Each structure stands twice: as C-alpha cells, then as structure tokens.
Structure 1
C-alpha cells in the first residue's frame, strides 16, 4: 500500500465531520504508541510548553540516575536510549526553544555524569553532535535569545 501525500490527506480530512474525525483519531491512536503519545502531546501538553519541557527534564534526570554503571557498554546504550527518547519528544513539539532546552539539558547531564564518560569516543561524539545541533538551532532564533543561549553555553560547557 502506497502512502498518500500530506496534501491528499488534508483534503480528504476536510470532507469528514467532527465525529468522524474523532473516530479516525481514536483508531489511529490504537496502532502505535507514538501515535498515542503525539495525540496526548497535542491535546494536553502543547498549550503549556514550559510544563512539557519540565516533564522531559525530570524524565531525563531519572533515566540518567538509572544508568547501570557496571560497564561502558551499558552506559553507552542507556545514553543512546535517552537521546532517542529526547529526539522523539523534540519531534512532537515543533518549538525551536523546546528543542534547544532539551538538547542543552542532555549535554549538561552528560557533562555532570559521575564517571568521565566524555573520554569515551562514542559518547563524546554524541555530546559534541548534540551541542553542535543546539548551536545550529540557536542560530535560527531572534538575536536576543541567541545571545542568552550562547552566554549559557559559554558559561556551562567545556569546549
């Protein structure tokens, strides 16, 4: 089965009534966990982006505390899982400031990790890459916000 384009889907959805659209959304939410999470974000959390960011940061803090430090392999895999989850949340929110806040918090947690994991090649690569992604996103913001975020980066992160 070939997927339709967004334009085709948009025009097809405009032909449905409200009750039919509700039924379609509920059916869509049954198939994948990510669909249900996206609907949850759009319906309940998109209105309060600050609370959404706070929840993600708390979840990230808990995930970093749960990392098994017995082996660098487990540390690396856990950090990759945290990053994958963060990227999923970033996709849900199309707000650039949210993405920057999540990426910078991730980098802060990596830097503050009790074991020197930044000496590990793969983990250091993730750290550098996410810091670079945050800088790239910061460059798209208003110059006042750029200045504030760049000051934060210079004060917080080692280069």
Structure 2
C-alpha cells in the first residue's frame, strides 16, 4: 500500500512527471491549492515550512485545484507566476488536478482512502486540505483547510526525527 502511494505519477507544473518517491523525503506535505481563496495566504506558511524543514527532509507539494468555487481558474503559467510573485513560493507545484469525483487524481483517491476526514468522509471539503505523509508512505494524516501550516510543525518534526 505505501509503495503504491509513493509510485503514483504526477505532472509537475512544468510538465515533468514525478512520483512522491522521487523526492526521497522523510516527510511529504501534499496540499490542494487555489489562488483566489480565503485560505490563499496559507501559501506563505507553506513556503515557511518548506524553507525551515527542506534541509531536514520535508518536501511541500502544491496541487492546484479549481473544484471549489472555481478559485483556481488560471493556467499553469498564471498559477506559477501568481505563487512566485505574491508569496515567493519555491516548493514544487504540480499541474491542476481534481481531488473529488470520477476524475479525481489517483494520488487523491489514495490519500482520501488512507486518511478519511471527519466522520469517515472521503471527500475533500475545500482548498488547502493538507495530507502529511511519512517518507515510507505508511503514515498519512489529514488536516482541515482551517489548520494553519505552522500548526503542523510538531507533526513534521516527529516524522523527520523518526
């Protein structure tokens, strides 16, 4: 099961294909993002986590999604420019994905099954839902959009120290 999660191919915003396993991280933070959302300022906190823990083995991965209120309408170039210019984002971004429904990206199908939400629901509720994954893919924890990135520091440190 963990091997499957780490081997799912994903298209980076540049078009290059990578798997979570390609990053060789001790901890992986996967977030569905949007540029026109009330939670968009969380990009700043995600970038802060990336800068603080990247050398210790964390990778932050942003997956733009337009399924919630059409809050990510831009193409890949517009998304990349927005993130870099407004929030200095340097962590890896991927091509736009769907996280719910029949067209949900296989990564999100797997993550939702491994870490269901409140009352066992698998659906992603909104932008900036976060999944913290151990480097071996065996431990997956879901965090709500309202959970600020800095609130994940202790959980990230626990994975990095294990």
Q: TM-score, normalised by structure 1?
A: 0.24
Higher helix fraction (1 or 2): 1
Q: TM-score, normalised by structure 2?
A: 0.24
